[in-house]
Chains A and B, each alone.
Chain A
Amino acid sequence: MSSTPNIAARSRFAPSRDAMQALYRLLAVALLCIALTALSDVFFTTNNILNVLRQTALLFLMASGLTLVILTAGLDLSVGANIALSACLAASVIKATGSPLLGIATGIGCGAAIGFANGILVTALRIPSFIATYGMMWMLTGITYYYMAGDTIHGFPPEFRQLGSGYLLGVPMPVYVMVLFLLIGWFFAQRTIWGQQIYAIGANPVAARLSGVPVERRLVLVYAVSGAMAGLASLIILARINSAQGDIGEELTLPAIAAVLVGGTSLFGGSGSVAGTLIGALFLTLVLNGMNLLQIHSSWQPLVTGVIILLAVWIDNRTRRSDA
């Protein structure tokens, strides 16, 4: 192989399409920041920036697990309902035992168990993921409301509340959690063979199976991880707002899906990344935060989120088609 075609190809194809796409997304985030700074006096203040980061952290934690699911060309519509149930159970345990650690274990364990159940529905029972997790969403919502019976659990030990509202070196605690899980997520997806297998499953499940990838076990793992991340996010919310109610995660599923899709993970599987989801989460938080600052009514939020989801999928469709 001579070096000439090498150079020609590199100049034609570098920087890679993925890198360019990430660049566009960062550009969009930067433009959004500039616009918000110009439009609002409050945006570029330490307080608001920290607030944005905290919200981004929360959205990212939910969306990072969901990213893995969408990488396999699946979907998890139950993350919001999962958060509600995990938060309520964790809150009860903390209240009953006074132990934050037991509460954390409950929240994450409950989330993971729900995700595991989703994985079983999708693999062993072969129900399409969007409908299985949709059924799961309503079951969980029902269980949560039944369990809470309209009550609110509030007032948690201060050391637990640190998780959501505390600061370390002037930076909110959730941001540290976010960075930690960004690294873990990146490591899992990019630096383990399971991550490689997950990408392969999303790109072509038939070829993956015929290459010896244990497709079903990996799928169960991915749904369980998504559930566990929802459980973790529920704890952050709990610690932040210091109370648990039945409707706690209700409005979080759509933004989480939007964050993943805006972050460049394809609904059709096989391409995208956890780091992209961070950009997506930041973008979505900025949009919602900006609407808040500009005193746009919160009723616009589901509408804007819906439009963002449709646009993101449409753009992904177009880039995929121009590739083909």
Chain B
Amino acid sequence: MSAHKLTPASMSLARVPGVAIVLAILCATFGVMSPGFVTPANISNILSQSTILLLLALPMTLIIMTEGLDLSMGAVLTLASIALAITVVATGSATLGFLAALTVGFCFGLGNGVLIAALDIPPFITTLGTLGIAQGLSLLATDGQSVVGLPRSIEVIYSGSAAGIPLPVVIAALAYALTYALLYHTRFGTYVFALGGNREALKLAGISVRGMLIRVYVFGGLMAGFAALLMTARLNSAHPTAGIGMEFDAIAAIAVGGTSFERGNGWLFGTLLGVIAVGVLRNGLNLLAVPSSAQVTCIGAIVIIALFIDGLRGDR
């Protein structure tokens, strides 16, 4: 692990412009092509829509830094949203609903973490399996139908605002601050860097690698539970296919944002910019009436190009 062939300063300098340039080009293009793009309402709309994605992309960044992956995140988000909606409809309590969503997230995060860390099942296959499980549970709980009849109090979480700032943006900002503090200022965050960068060093320092890995996935599950709150509020309902594939947008945002998939290097601010870039892309393509299927293809291509560039950087 000692031979880091990276030349000094090659990483961060080569990367900072990358995602910023992508974002600038996207904004300029859509600004010129679509008159409705640069309006306060649309910008506010982009930011609000990006919040759910950000809540998934933040923990996914940490997971990818440990050389892991969580393909189940979109399905867990969906299931948590359904749990929230069903609980709220049944009890009328938004708090209980929120707790239900967090519980679902926690259980799946813990399950993923234990399967990966304790049973040594590779992350991509573990989360592929739990993706199936979460999807199945979603279908079972709803019989394929939407859960509707939520009180206004839920909807307000997405549509409301505090001091002129949309509430989801406030929530996302808090989530970003929390993750930032966790990653850069706590022991947990330090060990996340070590999990991907040099696991042996962590072991020699007397830290439990398994325990740390489990915590990373639990964090992912909990954030998916949080995101479920926003998603349910946005749709004012829960639907068994609502969050399917969300993890893919998150992976795209992270790849564009410059987090490495192989060397334990993450950049949280890059993920933030990446999320906004994906949001701008989706919004701009929507304004230009490009169908969402073509948007998915675009994003797929972006992931592969970003990973290719990441691989090139690793070779130097």
Question: Which residues of A does B touch, CB under 8 Å?
Answer: 75, 77, 121, 125-128, 130-132, 134-146, 149, 246, 254, 257, 267, 297-307, 309-310, 313-314, 317
Q: In the docked arrangement, what's the CA distance between A249 and B52, Å?
A: 28
Task: List the A residue with the shortest CB-CB distance to B315.
Answer: A126
Residue B61 lies at the interface, judged by CB distance under 8 Å to chain A? no
Contact of A127 among B126, B292, B308 (CB under 8 A): B308
Q: Are B69 and A306 in contact (CB under 8 A)?
A: no
* Contact A127 to B144, CB < 8 A, known contacts A144-B293, A302-B133: no
Contact between B125 and A313, CB atoms less than 8 A apart: yes
B248 touches A138 (CB 8 A): yes
**Option from A126, A138, A246 in Cβ contact (under 8 Å) with B300:** A138
Q: Inside 8 A of A317's CB, which chain B residues have their CB?
A: 119-121
Partner of A299, one of B121, B139, B293, B303: B139
Q: Return chain B residues, CB-CB under 8 Å to A121.
A: 304
Smallest CB separation, B158 vs chain A (Å): 26
A126 touches B132 (CB 8 A): no
Q: Find out whether the CB atom of B308 lies under 8 angstroms from the CB atom of A125.
A: yes
| B contact residues around A136 at 8 Å (CB) | 300, 304
A132 near B304 with CB under 8 A, answer: yes
Tell me whether A310 and B115 are in contact in the complex, defined as CB-CB below 8 angstroms, given that A134-B71, A145-B293, A146-B291 are known contacts: yes
Give the distance in Å from the alpha carbon of A299 to the alpha carbon of B144 in the complex. Answer: 8
Shortest Cβ gap from B100 to chain A (Å): 19
Q: Please state if B129 and A309 are interface contacts (CB–CB under 8 Å).
A: yes
Q: With A126-B311, A267-B125 in contact, do A306 and B304 touch (Cβ < 8 Å)?
A: no
A132 contacts B297, CB within 8 Å? no
In Å, the complex CA distance between A135 and B122 comes to 18
Q: Which residues of B contact A297 (CB under 8 A)?
A: 139-140, 143
Given contacts A305-B132, A306-B129, A307-B133, contact A135 B119 (CB under 8 A): no
Contact A149 B135 (CB under 8 A): no
- Which of A267, A302, A317 gathers the greatest number of chain B CB atoms within 10 Å? A302
Given known contacts A301-B136, A302-B135, is B129 in contact with A139 (CB within 8 Å)?
A: no
Q: Is B188 an interface residue (CB 8 A)?
A: no
* Structural contact, B122 and A267, CB atoms closer than 8 A: yes
Top 9 nearest A-B pairs (CB, nearest first) are A303-B136, A306-B132, A145-B293, A139-B300, A142-B297, A299-B139, A142-B296, A310-B129, A302-B132
Contact A146 B293, beta carbon cutoff 8 Å: yes
Chain A residue contacts of B311, Cβ below 8 A: 125-127
B198 within 8 A of A: no
Please provide the chain B residues from 73 to 88 with a CB less than 8 Å away from any CB of chain A in the complex.
none
User: B residues 134-169 with Cβ under 8 Å of A?
Assistant: 135-137, 139-140, 143-144
Asked if residues A131 and B132 are in contact (CB atoms below 8 Å), the reply is no
Across-interface contacts of B133 in A (CB, < 8 A) = 302-303, 306-307
